[in-house]
Amino acid sequence: MSKIAILIPTYNESSTIVELLRKLAEFRTSSQYEFDVLVIDDNSPDRTADTVDNLSLSWVFLLRRPGKGGLGAAYRAGFAHVLSNQSYTAFTTMDADGSHRVEDLPAMFAAMKPGRSIVLGTRWIEGGSVVNWPKSRQFLSRAGTRYAKFALGIQLNDLTGGFRIYSRELLESLKLSDMDATGYCFQIEMAMAADLAGAIATEVPITFVERINGVSKMSKAIVLEALTQTTRWGVARRLRPNADKLHYVK
Ligand SMILES: Nc1nc2c(ncn2[C@@H]2O[C@H](COP(=O)(O)OP(=O)(O)OP(=O)(O)O)[C@@H](O)[C@H]2O)c(=O)[nH]1
Ligand SMILES: [Mg+2]
């Protein structure tokens, strides 16, 4: 039986995760797609993991990690965990804070392709939008994608977004444990690795809603990491395109 695993990393998301799981539960009863959820928690001081545990949902699994290790590390541990279960054929990633809407999942699921493939929930294409984001955050996100597009030569329109679906074939073709990014540039690194692996990429417009509860983990250090890493990858891609492919693709 083929199933989708939805991976949700959390750090202090007690106030947002319950509502997201409620919406997913509702969607689960009406959807033609079968899915489970893996919450990857970095020992959140607000006890997000216990909040999830107490819901006792049979389709929600929990990966408890010892401490805050960054988004990239959390996702890599999550992928290793779900890939070991062969019944999962595709892997969705989404934020816990309500920014990624369950309402956009049907269109994203429908866009999945066989073989090595990636579906990217995209804000910056026709039909996509952002709600309640200050102009400064919109600028940062657009500028980040524009710079990554230029530096890496990848013609996709939302390289920093984290609402995606990866096929099993794609994830199994990548050397996930050799990836470097700790922060949000993990999203850029994964898009680059998918490109190097020759994945079919499909962009689906999404509406991104700024979080109402909880606290953002975005920081200057994370932006700086994204900038320096993207520049480094861009230079490496131009100077040693084959070495780069060998680094990311099995
Ligand atoms: N496990 C884990 N999850 C994290 C870590 N950092 C961020 N997250 C989660 O990653 C998702 C995105 O983080 P946010 O803080 O919403 O960052 P953002 O969406 O870029 O920023 P805002 O738009 O301001 O909310 C959320 O579900 C966070 O809880 C981490 O170090 N470990
Ligand atoms: Mg957020």
pLDDT for 151-205, tens place per residue? 999 999 999 999 999 999 999 999 999 888 887 789 999 999 999 999 999 999 9
For the record, the structure tokens of 216 come out as 């953002």
Residues spanned by the domain of 99:
3-248
Q: Which ligand is nearest to the CA of 96?
A: 1
Domain count for the chain: 1
Cα 7 from chain centroid (whole Å): 8
Q: What is the pLDDT of residues 52-92, one digit of tens each?
A: 999 999 999 999 999 999 999 999 999 999 999 999 999 99
- Contact status, residue 188 vs residue 152, Cβ threshold 8 Å: yes
Compute the average pLDDT of residues 96-118.
97
Radius of gyration of the chain (CA): 17
Nearest atom of ligand 1 to the alpha carbon of 11: 29
Strands (E), the chain: 3-10, 35-41, 60-64, 88-93, 117-122, 129-131, 164-167, 200-205, 207-209
Q: How far is the CA of 14 from the centre of ligand 2 (A)?
A: 14
Residue from 82, 45, 98 nearest 165 by CA: 82
Could you tell me which of 176, 194, 195, 179 has the C-alpha nearest to residue 229? Answer: 179
Is 211 close to ligand 1, i.e. is its CB under 6 Å away? yes
Considering every ligand atom, which ligand is closest to the CA of 226?
1
Say how many Å lie between the CA of residue 47 and the centre of ligand 1.
Answer: 15
Q: What are the residues whose beta carbon lies below 5 Å from ligand 2 (ion)?
A: 95, 97, 99, 211
Residue 146, domain CATH: 3.90.550.10
CA distances from 48 to 11, 39, 63, 158, 169 (A): 7, 10, 11, 29, 32
Identify the pLDDT of residue 66.
Answer: 98
What local confidence, expressed as pLDDT, does residue 180 receive?
81
Mean pLDDT, the chain, integer = 94
Distance CA 214, CA 241 (A): 41
List the one residue out of 114, 132, 89, 94 whose CA is nearest residue 10: 94
